[in-house]
Amino acid sequence: MEILFFIGLASAAVTVTKTSQGPTGYEVTISYQNASVDSVIISSLPHLTDQYSTSFWSYANFDLAEYKPGDFQRDPQVGSYYPMEQTSPGEFTWTRPFPSGTYQYSFLLNCANASLCNTTTGQEITDPTNPPFETVAGSELVSSFQVPYDPEFQYYPDLPLNQDYALPYGNNASKGRIEIGTYPSPGSISPSDGIHDYVVYLPAGYDDDASNSSTVYPLLYLSHGGNGAAADWQNQGYISNLLDRLIGEGHLEPTVVVMPTWYGILPNTTNPQALEQRNYPTPPVIAELYSRYLFPYIEDNYRVSNESSRRAFAGLSQGAFVTYEFYTAYTSYFGYFGFLSGAAATNSENEAPPLSEYVNASMAAANPDLLDRGIFVSYGQYDVLYTDARRMQEALDALNVTYVSRFIPWGYHFWNTWQDAFWHFGRAALWQPLPFTRYTGYGQ
């Protein structure tokens, strides 16, 4: 047995061990110590399902211990609670086999009924020794860890379930840097009045040639989704690992990636409860605020290209709706657009609008740039925004626009789907020569 990761010392730990034994080849032990606690439930971890028991709305609720090849993660939001075993007073432990992937978890303390415990009551905490990456304290409510793939136990012929792209890549010299930044944005209430925040990934080498003002990098804006914030892609999606690997393996040119946030970008005077936690400005409002305040700030403060062909916007779910807004209303400012699990379904039910409401020939006649951008569309088979993404493809097909797409056969509306989508966006679409052809993204 080889211990691969050991996070934490004093009061909790996550240990990922290569067992080279079934069912998955890997085992994870989570431990927690706290003398003032009688019981601990692990929350936010997924149960597993398989493709035979899964549809949009239903799935098998397998405990991780029941893993079989072909099983994949499914909806951690719904009833995924694992009570920890108390080994002595205040000492808790829990062990399960885990397949490949990035996992989120939190602890519910002294909680008799998991469905009634939450962060507001103070019973749900993140792992004190493996805190989330966050820009605004309390905006990320889960800790994360990554488990590697073992083809001997996890290979399943029809499903690409290897999620090792999210493992740390290379050495210090090949790692980019993740940084939190702020910029003036009138109306913002987070992190403070008139100031807004973002996360930026600066690729390896950015600092080395900092004195060389003639080196400019292509620039990707990458959005979170509904209920999310700037730190999501790093905390839950391990985006710096994906980018280090895409760049280090030569799939993607070194790129500056800015992860903006609409969390607290505007006071929401009609809904004080939403104001307290999250705000829901509409895509046109978000796009206007980003383009007025964020984009000029980024161009002035980072060595990024000022050419639209070297600029991209991508986002997941509600962030894909924002991407659609930029695609249709700010088309010429960007060369590339990434629609990750969504496009134009901005109504509250996430229902896809009729095809006639997507990009169409009269819009293209008025705005021909719609036809020659680098477009990437991805979605999971069990994704709530499957129809929206498919309809976007239908609309592009009707315009004879070539695009790159990624269909994720095990994917539902969650982080491992978006990691997989981003991995393929970076390999096959971003900064690839335009127009895309059937060979785009091959041979690398």
Q: Note the residues at the interface with ligand NAG (CB under 6 A).
A: 11, 34, 36-37, 109-110, 113, 115-116, 118, 120-121, 125, 128, 172, 209, 212, 214-216, 306, 356-357, 360-363, 399-400
Q: Report the alpha-carbon distance of residue 189 to residue 5 in Å, rounded.
A: 38
Question: In this complex, which beta carbon is closest to ligand NAG, that of residue 37 or of residue 314?
Answer: 37
Question: In this complex, which beta carbon is closest to ligand NAG, that of residue 63 or of residue 357?
Answer: 357
Q: Report the alpha-carbon distance of residue 124 to residue 443 in Å, rounded.
A: 47
Task: Give min distance, CB of 333 to ligand NAG, in A.
Answer: 12
Tokens for 3, please give them. Answer: 């211990």
Q: Report the alpha-carbon distance of residue 425 to residue 6 in Å, rounded.
A: 31
Q: Report the alpha-carbon distance of residue 229 to residue 189 in Å, rounded.
A: 13
Task: Give min distance, CB of 320 to ligand NAG, in A.
Answer: 17
Task: Give min distance, CB of 122 to ligand NAG, in A.
Answer: 6
Question: In this complex, which beta carbon is closest to ligand NAG, that of residue 78 or of residue 361?
Answer: 361
Count, residues in the chain: 444
Question: In this complex, which beta carbon is closest to ligand NAG, that of residue 162 or of residue 402?
Answer: 402
Question: In this complex, which beta carbon is closest to ligand NAG, that of residue 399 or of residue 434?
Answer: 399
Question: In this complex, which beta carbon is closest to ligand NAG, that of residue 11 or of residue 387?
Answer: 11
Closest listed residue to residue 30, CA positions, set 47, 5, 49, 48: 5
Task: Give min distance, CB of 313 to ligand NAG, in A.
Answer: 19
Question: In this complex, which beta carbon is closest to ligand NAG, that of residue 128 or of residue 187?
Answer: 128
Task: Give min distance, CB of 155 to ligand NAG, in A.
Answer: 33
CA 97 to chain centre: 24
Task: Give min distance, CB of 195 to ligand NAG, in A.
Answer: 26
Helix (H) or strand (E) holding 72: strand 72-74
**Tokens 């083809």 map to which residue?**
151
Question: In this complex, which beta carbon is closest to ligand NAG, that of residue 78 or of residue 116?
Answer: 116
Question: In this complex, which beta carbon is closest to ligand NAG, that of residue 206 or of residue 414?
Answer: 206
Task: Give min distance, CB of 119 to ligand NAG, in A.
Answer: 7
CA geometry: angle 386, 62, 409, nearest 5 deg: 30
Task: Give min distance, CB of 369 to ligand NAG, in A.
Answer: 15
Question: In this complex, which beta carbon is closest to ligand NAG, that of residue 121 or of residue 332?
Answer: 121
Long-range contacts of 124-131 (CB under 8 A, 24+ apart): 124/43, 127/7, 127/8, 127/12, 127/14, 127/32, 128/10, 128/11, 128/12, 129/7, 129/8, 129/9, 129/10, 129/11, 129/12, 129/13, 130/7, 130/8, 130/12, 130/14
Task: Give min distance, CB of 238 to ligand NAG, in A.
Answer: 16
Question: In this complex, which beta carbon is closest to ligand NAG, that of residue 305 or of residue 381?
Answer: 305
Tokens for 224, please give them. Answer: 């979170």
**Tokens 């393929």 map to which residue?**
424
Residue 86 gets the label, from left (phi > 0), alpha (psi -120 to 50) or beta, of beta
Q: Are strands 124-125 and 101-109 parallel, antiparallel or unpaired?
A: antiparallel
Task: Give min distance, CB of 272 to ligand NAG, in A.
Answer: 14
Task: Give min distance, CB of 219 to ligand NAG, in A.
Answer: 12
CA 421 to chain centre: 9
DSSP state of 91: E
DSSP string computed for 223-270:
E--TT--TTHHHHTT-HHHHHHHHHHTTSS---EEEE---TTSS--TT
Question: In this complex, which beta carbon is closest to ligand NAG, that of residue 37 or of residue 316?
Answer: 37
Q: Report the alpha-carbon distance of residue 122 to residue 141 in Å, rounded.
A: 12
Task: Give min distance, CB of 173 to ligand NAG, in A.
Answer: 8
266 close to 281: Cβ distance less than 8 angstroms? yes
